[in-house]
Structure 1
Amino acid sequence: MRPQQMRRNARRMRRYGLQPMVVMNSGDQLPEAAAVVFARWLWRYRSELAPFNVAALALIAASALHAIHPEWWPWLLGGAGLAASALVGVGERLGLARRVERLYAAAVTTAVGSWLAVGTALGPFVRPLPQLLLLGIVLLAGPWWAHRRRRARVRVERKLAAWPEISEAIGLKGSRVMSAVVDVWGWRARFGLARGQTIQDVTGKIPALESALGTFRGAVRVHPTPDDKANRFELRVLDIDPHADAIPWPGPSVSSITEPIDLGPFEDAAPARVLFLRRHALFGGATGAGKSGGINVLMGNLTACADVVVWAIDLKRGMELNPWSPCIDRLATTPEQARALLRDAVTVLEGRAEWLAARGQRVWEPTPEFPALVILIDEYAELADDAPDTAADTDSIARLGRAVAVQLIAATQRPTQKAMGGGAVRSQMDIRVSFRVRERKDVDLILGQGMLAAGWHAHTLNAPGKFLISAAGHDSPRRARAYLVTDEAVSATVHQHADNRPALDHVSRSALEAERDKPRQTVAEGAGDAIPEVAEPELPKRDESGSEAALWTLLSSAPDEGVTIAHLKSATGKGRSWVYYRLQELADEGRARQVTRGRWRATQSNS
């Protein structure tokens, strides 16, 4: 009211003999009415009072129906039965994830519906209906009050009710709660940000959020919303760490490299599935962070793929990868062997590229006859130190290997530019898997520049096997934990798949043989130090008096079901590649045939 209007009103009051009333207020709020206080209390404790509210509604409904339509009681009884059956059958779609929850909801529905039907027919106050109503409250309210998710939901609602004060305290004033959901491990909520605020502002305040919400350290996650709007974010808070204990490996998740491989579950139990076909990968992490465990999960899946040949380099004398050696086509454990392996890999990719170009094709589609070639290098930094001259070969594989399905997977503690050869290797890694690192700057070394500032806090991972993954389809920092592959699981997997591993395709073999037939280059005098001689990899050379004769003898005496590749390797003393090369030659000559996958024998005409 304007001052002139106030003075005018005062003059009118004096004219009629009335004195203006002055109210002195100390600034305290006026006391609220008792009804308002009571209503607010009922609303605050609506979850705890739910059993009483349901009983009261049933009593009111029974009274009304008994007075108006007492003949409806059969319909009420039948409806209660149908509703209970529906809750048991499709209650999971309504948020009742556990079977015991669905059974409890069905029991409550049956009890309330039956009591309502009888109360409608006879009247709700006819004995013993009131006593049965009280007994039902006592029996059915206990599980409701004790339910962990209900209590968690109430706790979350009360925390979110205080969000205006929390947001102001942590510097996010103006943000608002949009929705919230309680799940098995904790809760998640979607928030809208005030104008000018971004998700980066929220990411930098995660420690303050943990303090304001009263959680344990490392319990808060901040992600973009699925619609990827810049003025929204999703907050996830864990009450229980789902990755606190190791998670046993359930076995291979794929049978072809064309399928995404499951490395381990995220915190919401969703699998961390990654497609490795035509993608190079980098696994990084400090000592003891679980990097080797992640490599074991990958190897366990690759051995089950019938369209992958695995070559590996382990310069710790095979200490890490030797248990998988029956499923590895070539395993290099010395710098000399590593040089030869990588040089041959470049030869393979060049041979495949020429073969594809001659047929007007652009990509190599893996099959058991034309498998992909995966080169796994454990502790890449050791290779860079012990065989620095391999940098050019790894650079070529990184740049040119995708289209021809020659892929590089490197594992290292710190993928510095020096360790990665100073070339294109690290920049070509499409898949980045980071286990715990010691220093914050290592996050950007493994996952890419700027990832630490974007919330990829790999230095806060607090248990071996926990990792962050950056790849196509995984563009937000979600924590996962790699499966635990025990020694027994490795042995069982190797035993199951060792005899079914594919051989290198004839295109790659021809390229390697053509390279071997070239005359060796010599270094001219004064042109610098010669490259030291390296151990040639095992190739299928004629050896009629030894291994070749043993191979033929075993094939000729094989039973109808054939002999396994493992037996042929043992009898000849040769590796898998040599055995497969010889078998293919014999098959081309019509002297041997494959009975079933992994089993061979001589043809009937030569046996």
Structure 2
Amino acid sequence: MGKRGRRERGVDWSVTGGGPVSNTAVAALGLAAAAATGHGLAVSPVWGAAAGVAGAATNVMIGAAAEASPTGQVINIARWVGAGGWLTWCLSTTPWDVNSMLTLVVGSAISAGLAPLARGGRPAHTAQGGALVLNATSRTEREWEQRLGRIVHRTPFRVTRTVAWETGAGFTLHVDLPSGVTRKSLETHTDALAADARLPEGCGVELDKAESRGSVRLHVATVDRMRSSIDYPEDYSPRSIMDPIVLGEHRDSSPAQVMWREHSALFSGQRGSGKTTILNVGTAGVGRCTDALIWHIDLTGGGLSRAWLDPWLKGEVERPALDWAACTPADAHAMVTAALGIAKGRKASGFEKKMAADVSLLPIGADLPQIMLFADEGKTLLNPSSRGIIAKIRDGLEELQDIARDSAVNPVLSTLRATADTLNAGIKKGAVTRVAMAGSDDEELAYLLGWKRNLSVDDLAGPGTAYLTDGQEIRPMRGYNLTPRRVAEISRTISARRPELEQESRTAAGAAYLNRYERMRATFGVPGGAQTLTESGDVQDSESTQVAVPGEKPRLRSVPTAATWLREDPAPAQAAEPTPVGSDLGSWLTPTERTRTAPAGAEREAWDGVPDIISRALEVFDRLADDRVHSKELAEALGMTQQELAEALKRLGVESLPNKFVRRGSSLRGYERGALEAVAQRSREAASRPA
């Protein structure tokens, strides 16, 4: 190969070799022959001038088609003008004059010397697929062809096109690969290419797919634009979970986007890397979808969820932007258990929907929304060595990855470190979307994204930047910046239009889901959980305080502390050991709910004297956070027919409202909370009177 390369750079003196000297010599001999023949036949000198003009015009058209450089065009036109002028002179006088011959020799020598500058484009060649393409023409393209050959030790690389980025921060090269070189084999050389090109710190070379398997696109960053913060867009318009979720931008300003209808995700980043911010960006992207719900597991003390719940906790909106948020291991375990129950339940209940739509993937919408479960934690939740309730949560999340793709229950997980001793390998393999934040070392990048990728943290620009793959190429990105004030702003928009979980999934989720709002108020309301917000915005520490209930004015109500929701009824004093916190979902049942396990037909009343049906009906009002409920919905929640409900309540003096009212798009008759509370109050007073 070396000898062949030296021959290519040498001077080709052969007549048929196609070199600059031989080509010029052949052209000079042909021109002399034309002059001698024309002079012998007494051809008019006008034809010599016409030949020069015609040749120059033809050269202009060919050069334009070949995208020749302006310099090359000018030189070629000058050649034709000189040749036409010499031929005209010889036809008008004689070609056998010594001065005429010397003029031809000198002109030919000058033409041969200018040959390298006259190339408007190197000779066309046939690509591997048979298409005719033009070789590189610019200095940059020639440099990169040589660089690729020098680094990879293979030739010839052909740069067929260069596209400058609109930001001015770099360019994209379209490269045809030599025989035997694949896109995958080129991945290991990107760092060396960046070093050879002397790219600035924070800049690099990215490999991407092109039109065919025999070509690639090289994204070359020349300006470290990733050091600039990029704010989250102002666009909050409705979207679908079937659309891409945009997390930020790549170096060339193209959107860094992921598809989460079927994919689960895994984010890795140490404290201060911007991981929580990018999880907020993902939450905002899902929240814009009118066919998706957001669940949060936030074991960092509420750092991810608190800002999203703030407008609801202050009573500014009727519903929280997050359908469910948990910041304790017990609540997180209940959430994962509920998610698994929904996923398994949808496999059966969603079959008819798939048959009706004639699709293999469960069709989702506002009436059957996807659940995106975000988990932001320290380094223990995904740890293979975790035990107890944390291990149950981890195993449940891994099972979700395995079984819940079709059921539209997808987890978005995060970890502080991406190493074998801190990240469960099964969870890593189950995540199609993977994000490695800046701050990780090269070993962590390799473990999370693949050992053969040749990735380097030098290509990232600090907090907020990351490597991203959504099952395709791995590319650096800058995540959007999303401040708490913007989070609250987006939260108000989300809460107004997010869907509700369908009835079948609510049933599958169980009591932990139905009681979630009360626990969220208690645990996220203020530090300590025992404090709540009063109507005036003041904080009270007592358990009986003013709280905001969606759809109602703040009223006096007993609000349990966070610990109250996480334990069973007080154990007898003589008990040897208390029931473990959150040991099973029965710990989430209220006293009234537990009585439902009693033998059928047993007549019973709640502990405070309130009839069981009244207590249960009031719980339904609480779960729906409403002061009016349709008869049909209330009967279904209580496991009764509408006629049975009407007869039972009528015996207690409760009548349905005389007029219809609209709830969730339906206009039906139903019951008002005030009528049930009046019966409950009378029952309590009667129970408190001395016998």
CA shift for structure 1 position 236: 2.5
In 2: Cα distance, 1:469 partner to 1:380 partner = 21
One of 506, 510, 517 as aligned partner of 1:509: 506
CA shift for structure 1 position 494: 1.0
3-state SS in 2 of match to 1:441: helix
Cα 1:394–1:600 change in 2 (3 A) is farther
CA shift for structure 1 position 484: 1.1
Q: Does 1:395 align with 2:394?
A: no
In 2: Cα distance, 1:258 partner to 1:541 partner = 41
Q: Does 1:463 align with 2:465?
A: no
In 2: Cα distance, 1:378 partner to 1:443 partner = 19
8 Å contact kept, 1:346–1:393: yes
Measured against aligned partners, the alpha-carbon deviations of 1:294-316 in whole angstroms (never above 9, x if no partner) come to 21111112222222222211112
8 Å contact kept, 1:436–1:459: no
Paired residue for 1:334? 328
3-state SS in 1 of match to 2:461: coil
Paired residue for 2:153? 172
Q: Does 1:282 align with 2:285?
A: no
Cα 1:537–1:321 change in 2 (3 A) is farther
CA shift for structure 1 position 508: 1.4
Paired residue for 1:453? 452
Paired residue for 1:183? 165
Q: Letter of the aligned partner of 1:278 in structure 2?
A: E
8 Å contact kept, 1:254–1:260: no
Paired residue for 1:374? 372
CA shift for structure 1 position 489: 1.2
Cα 1:296–1:229 change in 2 (3 A) is same
Matches for 1:403-422 after TM superposition, within 5 Å: 403-416=406-419, 419-421=422-424
3-state SS in 2 of match to 1:370: coil
CA shift for structure 1 position 410: 0.4
3-state SS in 1 of match to 2:160: strand
Cα 1:403–1:254 change in 2 (3 A) is same
8 Å contact kept, 1:364–1:405: yes
In 1: Cα distance, 2:352 partner to 2:504 partner = 12
In 2: Cα distance, 1:441 partner to 1:333 partner = 31
8 Å contact kept, 2:210–2:216: no
In 2: Cα distance, 1:529 partner to 1:420 partner = 33
Q: Does 1:323 align with 2:323?
A: no
In 2: Cα distance, 1:434 partner to 1:463 partner = 12
3-state SS in 1 of match to 2:507: helix
8 Å contact kept, 1:247–1:483: yes
Cα 1:259–1:582 change in 2 (3 A) is farther
Measured against aligned partners, the alpha-carbon deviations of 1:410-438 in whole angstroms (never above 9, x if no partner) come to 0112244554456x433221222222252
8 Å contact kept, 2:202–2:226: no
3-state SS in 1 of match to 2:506: helix
CA shift for structure 1 position 481: 1.8
In 2: Cα distance, 1:372 partner to 1:285 partner = 26
Q: Letter of the aligned partner of 2:414 in structure 1?
A: A
3-state SS in 1 of match to 2:294: strand
Cα 1:211–1:258 change in 2 (3 A) is closer
8 Å contact kept, 1:210–1:217: no
Cα 1:252–1:410 change in 2 (3 A) is farther
One of 486, 489, 500 as aligned partner of 2:486: 489
Q: Does 1:306 align with 2:284?
A: no
One of 202, 213, 216 as aligned partner of 1:229: 213
Cα 1:281–1:174 change in 2 (3 A) is same
Give the TM-score normalised by the residue count of structure 1. 0.60
One of 424, 427, 430 as aligned partner of 2:429: 427
In 1: Cα distance, 2:626 partner to 2:422 partner = 35
Measured against aligned partners, the alpha-carbon deviations of 1:461-509 in whole angstroms (never above 9, x if no partner) come to 123222332224xx22222222111222111111222233322211012
CA shift for structure 1 position 354: 3.1
Give the TM-score normalised by the residue count of structure 2. 0.53
8 Å contact kept, 2:630–2:668: no
Measured against aligned partners, the alpha-carbon deviations of 1:503-548 in whole angstroms (never above 9, x if no partner) come to 221101222449999xx9xxxxxxx9986544845889789989x9
8 Å contact kept, 2:191–2:454: no
Report the more deviating stretch, 299-308 or 331-340. 299-308
CA shift for structure 1 position 248: 1.1
In 2: Cα distance, 1:488 partner to 1:516 partner = 28
8 Å contact kept, 2:145–2:157: yes
Matches for 1:69-88 after TM superposition, within 5 Å: none
- Counting matched residue pairs gives 435
CA shift for structure 1 position 551: 14
Paired residue for 1:579? 625
Q: Letter of the aligned partner of 2:435 in structure 1?
A: V
In 2: Cα distance, 1:414 partner to 1:400 partner = 26
3-state SS in 1 of match to 2:625: helix
Cα 1:419–1:175 change in 2 (3 A) is same
Measured against aligned partners, the alpha-carbon deviations of 1:17-74 in whole angstroms (never above 9, x if no partner) come to xxxxxxxxxxxxx9xx9xxxxxxxxxxxx97989x97xx99xx9xxxxxxxxxxxxxx
8 Å contact kept, 1:348–1:511: yes
Cα 1:510–1:596 change in 2 (3 A) is closer
Cα 1:360–1:308 change in 2 (3 A) is closer
Cα 1:224–1:539 change in 2 (3 A) is farther
3-state SS in 2 of match to 1:204: helix
In 2: Cα distance, 1:374 partner to 1:429 partner = 14
Cα 1:603–1:49 change in 2 (3 A) is farther
3-state SS in 1 of match to 2:462: coil
Matches for 1:147-166 after TM superposition, within 5 Å: 157-163=138-144, 166=147
8 Å contact kept, 1:353–1:404: yes
In 1: Cα distance, 2:631 partner to 2:671 partner = 13
CA shift for structure 1 position 367: 2.0
Paired residue for 1:478? 475
CA shift for structure 1 position 264: 1.8
Cα 1:531–1:224 change in 2 (3 A) is same
In 2: Cα distance, 1:367 partner to 1:539 partner = 32
Paired residue for 1:443? 445
8 Å contact kept, 1:438–1:459: no
One of 348, 357, 360 as aligned partner of 1:354: 348
Q: Letter of the aligned partner of 2:160 in structure 1?
A: S
3-state SS in 2 of match to 1:409: strand
Cα 1:578–1:198 change in 2 (3 A) is same
Cα 1:599–1:457 change in 2 (3 A) is farther
Measured against aligned partners, the alpha-carbon deviations of 1:154-211 in whole angstroms (never above 9, x if no partner) come to x992243345654565353523333232333322223334444444554433344334
Q: Letter of the aligned partner of 2:156 in structure 1?
A: S
Paired residue for 1:248? 231
In 2: Cα distance, 1:236 partner to 1:303 partner = 32
One of 480, 484, 500 as aligned partner of 2:497: 500
3-state SS in 2 of match to 1:263: strand
In 2: Cα distance, 1:532 partner to 1:228 partner = 59
Paired residue for 1:210? 194
Measured against aligned partners, the alpha-carbon deviations of 1:316-373 in whole angstroms (never above 9, x if no partner) come to 2212221113211221111111112212222222222232357785643222222222
Paired residue for 2:56? none
Paired residue for 2:243? 259
In 1: Cα distance, 2:466 partner to 2:296 partner = 23
8 Å contact kept, 1:303–1:501: yes
Report which of the two structures shows the higher radius of gyration computed on alpha carbons.
2
8 Å contact kept, 1:437–1:443: no
Cα 1:588–1:242 change in 2 (3 A) is same
